[in-house]
């Protein structure tokens, strides 16, 4: 056992012990589309017998925290049929070939909200659901530019609402932001003083 780990396997120092990586022994494709690829991966955890694990390959995506100096943060209010949930979320979507994360953020924002951006800055990138999927989610902070009119993807949300910090905190606490990716982005922006 590593010197940094106690007898209970927990790290007792400031640095955790080195991570023992799992070995990927093979991969078999089960389904492929533009949106998702499903594979069966043969994997061997350290010191364990190999087994097969399903992996969903999903393209990276971007989520946008749009700030307006007088209105707060823009949220979509919508129904998600996959989870059959209704709630608030940040604008989000795929990153097209050749786009930077910031370009994708500006495009998705215009398509879903009708708003342009003055400027953008990266907030955070993280795994969307790393026990099942390889998707990375990239969060961007954007400052509102001009409203251009009805969004192209107007059907994606029932309404769009502006929320100040107090309302954002309340919506998250009440469970009205059911998607973890929107929750992560909003909590990150709130905690680190971006709003």
Cβ–Cβ < 8 Å for 186, 90: yes
Local confidence band at 3 (pLDDT 50, 70, 90 cut-offs): very low
Half-sphere exposure of 122 (CA within 13 A, CB side): 7
d(CA 106, CA 9) in angstroms, rounded, equals: 46
Alpha-helical (H) ranges within 42-175 are 101-113, 165-173
pLDDT over 60 (residue 144): yes
Render pLDDT for 108-140 as a digit per residue (tens, 0 to 9): 999 999 999 999 999 999 999 999 999 999 999
Local confidence band at 11 (pLDDT 50, 70, 90 cut-offs): low
Q: Where are the domains of the chain?
A: 1-57, 61-191
Query: Scanning the structure block, which residue is given the tokens 């700030």?
Result: 67
pLDDT over 70 (residue 98): yes
Half-sphere exposure of 141 (CA within 13 A, CB side): 17
Render pLDDT for 168-194 as a digit per residue (tens, 0 to 9): 999 999 999 999 999 999 999 999 999
Render pLDDT for 67-90 as a digit per residue (tens, 0 to 9): 999 999 999 999 999 999 999 999
CATH of domain 61-191: 3.90.79.10
pLDDT over 60 (residue 1): no
Task: Tell me what the mean pLDDT of segment 40-60 comes to.
Answer: 97
Which residues are paired to 67 by β-bridges? 73, 143
């Amino acid at each position: 056992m590593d010197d940094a780990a106690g007898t209970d396997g927990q790290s007792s120092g400031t640095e955790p012990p080195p991570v023992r990586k799992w070995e990927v022994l093979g991969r078999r494709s089960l389904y492929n589309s533009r949106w998702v690829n499903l594979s069966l991966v043969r994997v061997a955890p350290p010191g364990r017998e190999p087994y097969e694990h399903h992996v969903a390959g999903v393209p990276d995506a971007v989520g946008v925290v749009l700030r307006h100096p007088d209105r707060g943060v823009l949220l979509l209010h919508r129904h998600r049929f996959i989870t059959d949930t209704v709630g608030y979320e940040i604008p989000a979507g795929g990153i097209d070939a050749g786009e930077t994360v910031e370009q994708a953020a500006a495009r998705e924002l215009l398509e879903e909200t009708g708003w342009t951006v003055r400027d953008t800055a990266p907030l955070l990138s993280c795994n969307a659901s790393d026990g099942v999927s390889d998707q990375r989610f990239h969060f961007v902070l954007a400052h509102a530019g001009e409203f251009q009119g009805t969004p192209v993807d107007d059907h994606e949300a029932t309404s769009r609402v502006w929320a100040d910090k107090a309302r954002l905190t309340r919506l998250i606490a009440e469970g009205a932001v059911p998607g973890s990716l929107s929750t992560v982005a909003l909590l990150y922006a709130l905690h680190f003083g971006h709003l």
